[in-house]
Amino acid sequence: MIKTYGLTHVALAVRDVDRSSRFYCQVFGAVETYRKEDFIQIETPGHHDVIVFQTGTEEEIGKAGGILHFGFRLVDPADIDEAARAVEEAGGTLRSRGEFAPGVPYLFASDPDGYEVEIWYE
């Protein structure tokens, strides 16, 4: 077995790297850590989670490629309402919302390029 820091990043093909960065910074408080003309890397605050946005082709953008969604775990289940508002205010679309079990809320949303993002508490 090799030692790693775990899954460190996800790279997404997007139409507009600036728009994608704004969405994730606004919803999740992420910060940009690296930028080129067609490439932006962001990290979530206090963690080492990285999302890379790279300008893609129409054939690539929004396609799951076998990955159905990726998720962000809430610290407090009461924040699910704020998460829903933040997604919509940042240009995303709510897909579904509910509870996996009592006190275990979730929502699924699409980001501006159509990637499915889960926000949940567990």
User: What is the phi/psi pair of residue 107, to 5°?
Assistant: -150, 150
pLDDT above 80 (res 39): yes
Q: Is residue 26 classed exposed, middle or buried when 0-12, 13-18 and 19+ CB atoms within 10 A define those classes?
A: middle
According to the model, what pLDDT value does residue 1 have? 81
Which is higher by pLDDT, 83 or 49?
Answer: 83
pLDDT of amino acid 54: 95
Q: Does 104 score more than 90 pLDDT?
A: yes
d(CA 2, CA 19): 37
- Averaged over 62-88, what is the pLDDT? 91
Strand blocks (E) in the chain: 9-14, 31-36, 39-43, 50-55, 70-73, 93-101, 104-110, 116-120
**Contact (Cβ atoms closer than 8 angstroms) between residue 41 and residue 81:** no
More confident residue, 118 or 7: 118
Residues 82-90 have a mean pLDDT of 96
Given a cut of 70, whether residue 2 has pLDDT beyond it is: no
User: Residue 120 pLDDT more than 80?
Assistant: yes
And the tokens for 97? Answer: 């919302």
* Structural domains of the chain sorted by starting position, each given as residue range(s) with its CATH number in brackets: 9-120 (3.10.180.10)
* 114: confidence class by pLDDT, cuts 50, 70, 90: very high
Instruction: Kindly tell me if the per-residue pLDDT of 48 is higher than 90.
Output: no
Mean pLDDT of the chain: 92
